[in-house]
A and B are shown apart, each in its own frame.
Chain A
Amino acid sequence: SAVISQKPSRDICQRGTSLTIQCQVDSQVTMMFWYRQQPGQSLTLIATANQGSEATYESGFVIDKFPISRPNLTFSTLTVSNMSPEDSSIYLCSVEDRRGGYTFGSGTRLTVV
């Protein structure tokens, strides 16, 4: 299975600022997925990042709030912009593995104060 390095593992940020989360995969992958997990909740897909094209956002998520970069087939970033306390969540990236399942990064626990 692919191995994903996700950074940072956690951060505490001031409201109104932005945080960029990075995911590095040890193999080339076509699609990378970004999820949000609000406290005590399930995972919700934010967007799908394809190399060479703009990310595809799910309903309720917009590019201005969650800009995504995908400069190559092994790397992606998600930025949480103009943060408010409601953005406090765990953010995870994911890729499909060769067995047909999905591998996840270790997650970024974001707290906005």
Chain B
Amino acid sequence: AQTVTQSQPEMSVQEAETVTLSCTYDTSENNYYLFWYKQPPSRQMILVIRQEAYKQQNATENRFSVNFQKAAKSFSLKISDSQLGDTAMYFCAFRGAGGTSYGKLTFGQGTILTVHP
């Protein structure tokens, strides 16, 4: 079974600064997908960024980028130029590419990020 670990329960950053959230995972699969989701107090789950394991290039979405280290099974999220609206719970998630794990998301414990003015 896959596991996803986020070792930082809480993080804080000053507005306009850069912050990195950590995520490690464990799987025996070779092909899979990794995600970062944001959950603000409204509790709506919002997809931040997505990475396919077969792609070596790190995904980027505007101010958000990842550092994907497949051999180390590490998938960190970097938020540049932090904004107050980035304040939320961030979840790292894993999805297998096939078999019984197809379509199912396994989530990490979450990291509460607070952006201070």
Residues of A within 8 A of B (CB): 31, 33, 37, 41-45, 48, 90, 92, 94, 96, 99-104, 106-107, 109
Contact between A100 and B33 (Cβ–Cβ < 8 Å)?
yes
Q: Which residues of B contact A (CB under 8 A)?
A: 33, 35, 42-45, 47, 50, 52, 91, 95, 103-110
How many whole Å from A108's CB to the nearest CB in chain B? 10
Contact A45 B47 (CB under 8 A): no
Check A102–B35 contact: CB distance below 8 A: yes
The complex places the Cα of A92 from the Cα of B37 at a distance, in Å, of: 14
B45 and A45 form a contact (CB under 8 A):
no
Rounded to whole angstroms, the CA-CA distance of A42 and B107 in the bound complex is 7
A100–B91 CA distance with the chains assembled, in angstroms: 17
Q: Is the CB of A109 within 8 A of B110?
A: no
Given contacts A100-B50, A101-B35, A102-B35, contact A107 B105 (CB under 8 A): no
A99 to B47, CA, bound (A): 11
